[in-house]
């Protein structure tokens, strides 16, 4: 089992993320549990590869890719998504909870996928169920501790996602109005386009959906909080990010011996940085410095818009059961409720818009 040097102090977490030369992101996409030979064969047959790019890259190549991708998550581009996010949410609530009762996690996983497709120009996503399964399987394969037989099944799912992404990259790489087309025009090679696609598609929508689930569950636990969320959910989103982020930790590695907070760290040490729950505030949930998440603005705004619309549509909704009863995703760097079951009195359904 991999042993990590845990870093909880927010100031030391920021220091690690600032010192990119001493604490490299090269293990960002490395499987937590070493993959068994059969799982590796499944991935190899699919041509699956994750060469360093963006979250796992360093130096000039990282900076050039980051500059291009950042354009697709600019303040103006994010602001332009608001009305469509609200419309998509209202439609999802009506579709998934027609009687006012059901699983709000279905809303949290359908809207972010559509928003990512619009923001990056990569076209329509697979159906909600397929993309959700692919995303959870990918996260579990690389950030969970699956047993060998489960690894094989997860690898097959990852290979299927990778196959679809190969087509997406091929279909959009000639269009500079899409994220992959813009990167190709800037000189990013095909292997790194596919590597970025794998992480971008999973992280760009699944983690937002998980954050939405967390905020919904927390707000629904108290009637006053739920009523307040209908007017402005930005506060609940900030609180969830600070205390219970869907990405609570991230990894770094020491290529050479160094020290942190006066403690020596040998070469090869792997660090686990705790991004939320330790007083670092909501901003630290998205990282810090050169590798800060480019989608932070979109994730925060989108989550608030979704929660507001759900709370307005279902003002009398209550959690069905206790928060602890809902299934949860619990991986090294990803954690959140996987279901948010609610019931709402039919006679007092949400207001018309």
Q: pLDDT tens-digit profile of 239-259?
A: 999 999 999 999 999 999 999
Tokens of 17: 């993320």
46 within 8 A of 163, measured Cβ to Cβ? yes
The one-character DSSP state at 187 is: T
Q: What is the pTM of this model?
A: 0.94
* Nearest to 270, CA basis, from 289, 281, 255: 255
Tokens of 264: 């020596």
- The helix (run of H) or strand (run of E) holding residue 6 is strand 5-7
pLDDT for the residue 145: 96
> Pairing relation of β-strands 263-265 and 258-260?
antiparallel
pLDDT, averaged in runs of 10, over the chain (353 residues): 86 96 92 96 96 90 94 96 97 94 93 94 88 96 97 98 96 96 96 95 92 96 93 97 96 96 96 95 94 95 98 95 88 96 71 47
> DSSP characters for 78-115?
HHTTHHHHHHHHHHHHHHH-TTS-EETHHHHHHHHHHH
Regarding the domain delimited by 29-245+293-347, which CATH topology (the fold level of the hierarchy) does it fall under? Cytochrome p450 (1.10.630)
* Nearest to 188, CA basis, from 14, 203, 197: 197
Please give the Cα distance from 106 to 110 (Å, whole number). Answer: 6
Q: Determine if residue 268 is left, alpha or beta; phi over 0 gives left, psi from -120 to 50 gives alpha, anything else beta.
A: left
* Nearest to 298, CA basis, from 120, 88, 94, 67: 120
């Amino acid at each position: 089992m991999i042993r990590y040097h845990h870093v909880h102090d927010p100031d030391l977490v920021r220091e690690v993320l600032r010192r990119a030369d001493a604490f490299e992101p090269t293990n960002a996409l490395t499987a937590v549990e070493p993959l068994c030979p059969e799982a590796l064969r499944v991935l190899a047959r699919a041509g699956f590869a994750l060469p360093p790019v963006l979250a796992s890259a360093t130096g000039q190549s990282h900076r050039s890719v980051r500059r291009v991708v950042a354009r697709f998550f600019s303040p103006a581009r994010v602001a332009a998504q608001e009305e469509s996010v609200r419309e998509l949410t209202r439609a999802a609530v009506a579709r998934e909870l027609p009687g006012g009762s059901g699983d709000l996690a279905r809303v949290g996983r359908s809207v972010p996928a559509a928003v990512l497709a619009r923001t990056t120009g990569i076209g329509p996503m697979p159906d909600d169920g397929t993309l959700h399964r692919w995303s959870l399987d990918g996260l579990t394969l690389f950030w969970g501790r699956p047993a060998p037989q489960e690894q094989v099944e997860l690898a097959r799912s990852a290979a299927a996602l990778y196959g679809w992404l190969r087509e997406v990259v091929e279909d959009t790489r000639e269009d500079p109005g899409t994220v992959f087309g813009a990167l190709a025009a800037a000189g990013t090679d095909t292997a790194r386009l596919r590597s970025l696609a794998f992480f971008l598609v999973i992280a760009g929508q699944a983690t937002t959906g998980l954050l939405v689930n967390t905020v919904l569950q927390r707000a629904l636990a108290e009637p006053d909080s739920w009523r307040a969320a209908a007017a402005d959910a930005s506060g609940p989103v900030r609180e969830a990010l600070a205390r219970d982020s869907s990405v609570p930790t991230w990894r770094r590695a020491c290529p050479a011996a160094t020290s942190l907070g006066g403690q020596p760290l040998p070469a090869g040490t792997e660090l686990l940085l705790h991004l939320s729950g330790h007083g670092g505030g909501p901003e630290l949930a998205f990282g810090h410095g050169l590798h800060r998440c480019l989608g932070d603005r979109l994730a925060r705004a989108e989550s608030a818009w979704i929660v507001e619309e759900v709370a307005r549509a279902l003002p009398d909704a209550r959690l069905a059961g206790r928060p602890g009863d809902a299934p949860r995703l619990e991986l090294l760097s990803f954690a959140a409720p996987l279901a948010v079951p609610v019931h709402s009195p039919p006679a007092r359904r949400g207001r018309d818009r």
